[in-house]
Amino acid sequence: MKETDMNENVLLDENGHRAAQQAWAADVRRAALKPTIGRTSVAWRLSVTVLGLIVLAGIGAWIYQLKYGLGAAGYNDQAFWAVYIVDVVAFIGVSYGGAVISAVLRLTGQSWRAPLTRLAEGTALVTVIIGALFIFPHLGRPERFWEIPIFVNTSSPLFWDFMAISTYVLATVIFFYLPLIPDMAIVNKTLGRADRPVLYKIYKVLSLKWMGSERQRRMLHSVLTLISLIIIPLAVSVHSVLSWAFATTSRPGWMETVFPPYFVIAALYSGTALVIVVASAFRKGYHLERFITKRHFVRLGYIMAALGLVYAYLTIADLMSEGYTGITSGWIRETISGRYAIPFWFYVLAGEVLPIALVAVKKTRNIKGMTVASIGVVIALWIKRIVIVLPPVTQPLIGSYWGTYHFTWVSITITLAGVAAIPLGLMLLFRVLPVLSIEEMEEMGELGSVEQVSRETLEAQKHLPAFAYANGNGNGHVNGNGVGMPEKEVQL
């Protein structure tokens, strides 16, 4: 019998089961808390510095734009909407994916979700905040933003955008906080008062005296189910409202009934892709290989591919319905074969053909393949939003003079700052909060999923230094330090 088979048998042995669970729990805690309570590495500090500088450069560019006006970002009489509204739609869109993926998996009781939920919900939280902030550079007079809720104009899509996004931000914050309550109690106990006294106090307050009693657990589960139920239609409404900002504007190419589902599916599609990218990056950077395995990527890849097909269908529906009437289809010619042909066909290749092919072919249906596919989708969907915004906005309503939009260093810097803010926000977030949902991971271990994960882990680590659960002595694994973790030092 091969060594791996022996290990599996030992693992599944009745006596070894409890030891495996304990080892699993210890491993989860160590991996989840290491970024929070451990020292940061040079690479982490360097990354945070570089990303922080990019964000600061973006803020500087925005100050420059405030001084010289939206023309500094390439806006003009024709291109009155351009890159910033694309950023708003794209960033809030990817947030939608994280929230809905987590909510749906939670509601359907998918235990495999556990290692991903914190990353997905964290991504949703960070990106929705960045997306909402992009409204400010989009506004010509941002200092009058406060007037939106004070002098209510219900005829304005901007008012409804404000209402929808603020509601969604509130829901995302609550959805992120509630599963953190048990984890913060764990961090609080692990951290100790002396290590980081301020954080210790914050965790103590926010953990709400969590003891893990059955009644506390039942209550948390009920409220989380309710919030999961609310956040799905809420996210749909946010993207519908965002699309109506276009669809209620009398421009060819925007005033279409297909826009709400078009935007919602695009958000889900790009959001799922970003969850895969984030999971891949944090898996590697935070050494979470044991918990986030190939099956997570493949399952998310299936979801992403299905959404990609739906989005391709809606893209065709969008072009066909208006193109067939021919009334105002100049923007379609410009999109397919005119000045926006290169970005449009880039979307087709990188945002549809490549990811679906990578998921379809068994050989590429792995972590690397899904990551490459997801990066393609995230970039292509941002470019697709450019194609949705610019051709209609620059199409002339009278005469034949087409408007133009040129990217400037200001708009590029502010957009790059938004992109850099995602990993920066996540790295800082998981510096103070556990990167894995410890409670759910331990629950997963109790449900028996630990065995399946362990099998995968054993399979995946045939060629790695041995730190599997079972050590062949029939008692399941307990390594030298008694916590079932590899001796390898975890670096952030």
Partner 1 sequence: MKSLSRWLIAAAATVGSVLVLSGTAVAATGQSGAALSLAVQPVSANSVNLALSAQVGSGAAGQKVTFFIQTQEFSSHGWMAVGSSTTNSAGAASYTYTPTWTGAELFGAALGSSNSVSAPSVVKSFQVLKDPPGVPQSVIEYSRPLGSTGGVFVKSILGVLALVWVLLLGSLALVVWRMPRLAGASVDSGRKVRD
Q: Which residues bind partner 1 (CB under 8 A)?
A: 25, 154, 163, 167, 170-171, 174, 177-178, 181-182, 185-186, 189-190, 208-217, 219-220, 223, 226-227, 230, 234, 250, 323-329, 332-334, 337-339, 341, 397-400, 442, 446
Q: Between residues 197 and 212, which has the closer beta carbon with respect to partner 1? A: 212
Extract the tokens encoding 408.
């400037």
Q: Between residues 234 and 422, which has the closer beta carbon with respect to partner 1? A: 234
Rounded-to-integer distance, Cα 269 and Cα 424, Å: 23
Minimal distance, residue 160 CB to partner 1, in Å: 8
Extract the tokens encoding 365.
């249906």
In angstroms, the Cα distances linking 138 to 98, 161, 259 are: 24, 13, 21
**Number of CB atoms found within 10 A of residue 403's CB:** 14
Rounded-to-integer distance, Cα 269 and Cα 309, Å: 10
Q: Between residues 427 and 441, which has the closer beta carbon with respect to partner 1? A: 441
Minimal distance, residue 342 CB to partner 1, in Å: 9
Minimal distance, residue 153 CB to partner 1, in Å: 11
Minimal distance, residue 167 CB to partner 1, in Å: 6
Rounded-to-integer distance, Cα 42 and Cα 52, Å: 15
Q: Between residues 181 and 277, which has the closer beta carbon with respect to partner 1? A: 181
Chain-centre distance for alpha carbon 438: 19
Rounded-to-integer distance, Cα 101 and Cα 63, Å: 36
Phi, psi of 352 (to 5 degrees): -130, -60
Amino acid at site 168:
Y
| Contact predicate 344/336, CB 8 Å | yes
What is the DSSP code (8-state) at residue 70? Answer: G
Minimal distance, residue 189 CB to partner 1, in Å: 5
Q: Between residues 219 and 360, which has the closer beta carbon with respect to partner 1? A: 219
The four Cα atoms 191, 194, 196, 202 give a dihedral, to 10 degrees, of 70
3-state helix, strand and coil shares in percent for the chain, rounded to the nearest 5: 75, 0, 25
Q: Between residues 27 and 87, which has the closer beta carbon with respect to partner 1? A: 27
Helix axes 157-177, 114-133, angle to 10 degrees: 150
Amino acid at site 411:
S
Q: Between residues 230 and 379, which has the closer beta carbon with respect to partner 1? A: 230
Q: Between residues 159 and 302, which has the closer beta carbon with respect to partner 1? A: 159
Residues 6+ apart with CB under 8 A from 2: none
Minimal distance, residue 406 CB to partner 1, in Å: 17
| Contact predicate 254/392, CB 8 Å | yes
Minimal distance, residue 73 CB to partner 1, in Å: 26
Say how many Å lie between the first and final Cα of the chain, rounded: 38
Minimal distance, residue 206 CB to partner 1, in Å: 9
Q: Between residues 128 and 370, which has the closer beta carbon with respect to partner 1? A: 128
> How crowded is the C-beta side of 283, counted as CA atoms within 13 Å?
20
Minimal distance, residue 216 CB to partner 1, in Å: 5
Minimal distance, residue 309 CB to partner 1, in Å: 23
| Contact predicate 120/101, CB 8 Å | yes
